[in-house]
Structures are given as C-alpha cells and as structure tokens.
Structure 1
Amino acid sequence: MGVVTVVLEKMSHLKDTDGAMNHPDPYVTFHLEEDNIILDKNLGKQQSSTKKCTCNPTYNETFTFNNVDSLKNVVLMVRVFDEDFGRDDAMGKLRIKLDEEALTPGEFKNFNQKLEKSGKGMFSRDARIELKIKYDQ
C-alpha cells in the first residue's frame, strides 16, 4: 500500500472577507479520493490549523494519507475557508489529479497554484497556495 504526503507551506493574497478591521482566519481541508465513473472511493479527509487574522498565512504542516493502492484516478481536493461564527466562508479551491502530475515515487513535487473560485464566498483572483506532494509506494 502506498502513502500520499502533502505539505501545506503557505497561502498568499487571500481576500479580506471580514472587512477592513478584521482579517480572515483561514484554514484548509484536504479530501483524497479515487474518482471513478460510478462509485468514488474516499481515501481520507484532513484539515489544517486555523491561522488568525491574516491574508498571507504560513502553515508548514504535513498530512499523510495511507493505504493508497495507486494514483490512478486519484484526486486531491483542496478547499480554503475563513473560520467564522456560524457558517465558514469559502475562499477558494483547487483540484489536483495526481495521476496526471508525473509524481516521482519518494520525491516531493512543488505546487504553487492559483486558487479557483469556490461558491458564493469572497474571492481574490490573485490567491495562491503553495504545497508539496509526494507518493511513496
């Protein structure tokens, strides 16, 4: 069985969703799934810590997903939220098809990607996320 390791390094240029006097409190969720035509297989969900009052958070947090047979049809869904009282605001998302990324087993691949818009939440077109992904067989 293989292991997918994700290192969330940082994000930048997030939208100030809470107004000029109250910056966002961002956190990230990771969903790893095998994306099949009929039945998707959930390979795990993990969440980062919340960084208070920042549009440019630094994390340096590591997440591991065990029991990954192969990278065939495996997708990492990355979603960024602003923690609020009540419902959290969606700030952006990213979908990475791991089988299309030419990951070299045992070596990290760097990703510095623009976030895509997520739902009706506030969004910055310049929002970026930096992470590293590795697959060990």
Structure 2
Amino acid sequence: MGHKGTLKVIVVRGKKLKDEDAIGKSDPYCELWIKKDYKQRTSTKKGTCDPEWNETFTFNVDGDHHLYLRVLDDDIVSDDKIGEAKVDLNEVYKAKYISTDVKLPALLGLTNHGFVQLILEFSPH
C-alpha cells in the first residue's frame, strides 16, 4: 500500500525555540528531509526565538512514513541543534491536508525546545 505523490511542506514558524548553549537569542533555521540524501532548509532568521519562515518545500513521496525535521542555531563555529522531531505522514495521506505544531522534545522528552508549525499537503499521483 504505497502512497505515491507530492508532499508540500510549509514551514510556517517556530515558537519559543531554545538553544541550550546560546545565551539570549538564536539565529534559527530548519532542515527537512524524508530521505537523508535530500535535505532542504529554510533561511536563517537572525536573533529570534519565534522565527516566521513561511517557506514552502516539495518532496516526492513513495510510501514514505516520516518527515524529519531539525532546527539548528546558525553559528559561526558550529551549528547547535535546537531540537529535532519526526512527523508521521499517515495522517497526511488520509486527510490530504494538516496543520500541526511539532514539538521539539529535549533529552528524555521531559522538557521541550519549542515548536515548529507546519502545514502539510499531499497530492497523490
């Protein structure tokens, strides 16, 4: 039962993003992938914990189960990870359209490092 088609992902915004290593504001960007060898990323938003991205990405899907996302703090030395999460695509295949706040769980999931609001649209081929 493979779902083939196009997955459109709109990265709307981040909320209350928190980088453990940074003091004060972050310069966050978001990386997205379904398969490791094809990562897409948003632009970097300077000096904010609540970035507004409103950027759209398209993936071809063929029975894939998850969309992975990672939010990083753009840093000169090395980019610090703010958090990562995966989104179950089965709901999107069923509903064709969902808007969701994806939590970025911290270690052990006891606290979280904010949310990313995504809109996902699936168009079967």
Distance 1:108 1:61 in 2: 16
Distance 1:113 1:28 in 2: 12
Match of 1:15 in 2: 18
Aligned residues of 1:44 and 1:65 also touching (Cα < 8 A): no
Runs of 4+ in 1 over 4 A off after TM superposition: none
Match of 2:104 in 1: 115
Match of 2:54 in 1: 60
Structure (1/2) with the larger helix percentage: 2
Max Rg structure: 1
Give the TM-score normalised by the residue count of structure 1: 0.75
Distance 1:27 1:114 in 2: 15
Describe how 1:56-95 pairs up with structure 2 within 5 A: 56-66=50-60, 68-69=61-62, 72-95=63-86
Aligned residues of 1:73 and 1:97 also touching (Cα < 8 A): no
Taking only the aligned residue pairs, the percentage that are identical comes to 33
Give the TM-score normalised by the residue count of structure 2: 0.81
Gaps of 5+ in 2: none
Distance 2:39 2:69 in 1: 10
RMSD over aligned Cα atoms: 2.1
Shift of residue 129 of structure 1?
1.0
The yes-or-no answer on 1:134 pairing with 2:121 is: yes
Gaps of 5+ in 1: 34-41, 119-123
**Alignment coverage as a number of residue pairs:** 117
